[in-house]
Amino acid sequence: MADIKTVVVSLPKLTVSGGPGSAEVIERGAVFGGFVPGYWAEVPIDNPQEAVAADLSGVLKRLSEGAALTYIEFNGSDFDHHLADLIEQSDRRTVLAVFGHDKLAFYGFGINTKALVSDKTAQFDDLWPTLAMIGEFYLTEKVSGRVWFEVLKNKSFKQSQIDKLKAALARVEKMLKRENREPWDKHDCA
């Protein structure tokens, strides 16, 4: 079960602007001014079709089951309301990547909302290494994009997670050492 969940939202025939969901992503996310889209079949992960959800309820089901990566394509005119519902129902440890035919926006956990990337153009290939830096999914050797460190809150995110785990392990080991003493060694009153 993934602790950090990643949702990729594709709006292939629509721009990422307008309504409540898009406004939230643009206002509180890192938005690239230009984007060169690609195809889901080219994603550098094992079995990309397993990550595809048919509709919003499928995304929410995958999130509740602890899936690390989910992909959804919103095509209808009500895409923005679906996006707003997705934002509202996802937890604080979810990162979203929303792209249309002209823009890419990163939103949610681990994203620097003050990133100055509005004048830059991202490639579809750049999406996956950047998300893998935050999320909990593995890329195949076919990965060819770059990591957009500009959009990450913590440039060494994975290392900070490892450091937190090491500190927690040290605390547990210290606690276990304390518990292995004889009862008369625990108190200095004798």
Q: Read off the pLDDT of residues 81-128 as tens digits, 9 standing for 90 and up.
A: 888 888 888 888 899 988 887 788 899 888 888 877 778 888 888 888
What's the pLDDT at 190? 52
Arithmetic mean of pLDDT, 66-84: 82
Q: Report percent pLDDT > 70 for the chain.
A: 88
Q: Where are the beta strands (DSSP E) in 14-53?
A: 30-32, 34-36, 52-53
Q: Where are the beta strands (DSSP E) in the chain?
A: 5-10, 30-32, 34-36, 52-53, 69-73, 94-99, 104-108, 121-123
Domain boundaries, the chain: 5-151, 154-182
What's the pLDDT at 173? 87
Arithmetic mean of pLDDT, 42-69: 82
Residue 23 CB burial class (10 angstroms; 0-12, 13-18, ≥19) = middle
Q: Which pTM value belongs to this model?
A: 0.77
Query: From 3.40.720.10, 3.50.50.60, 3.30.465.10, 3.90.78.10, which CATH number describes the 5-151 domain?
Result: 3.40.720.10
Q: In what order do the strands lie in the sheet with 69-73?
A: 30-32, 104-108, 94-99, 5-10, 69-73, 52-53
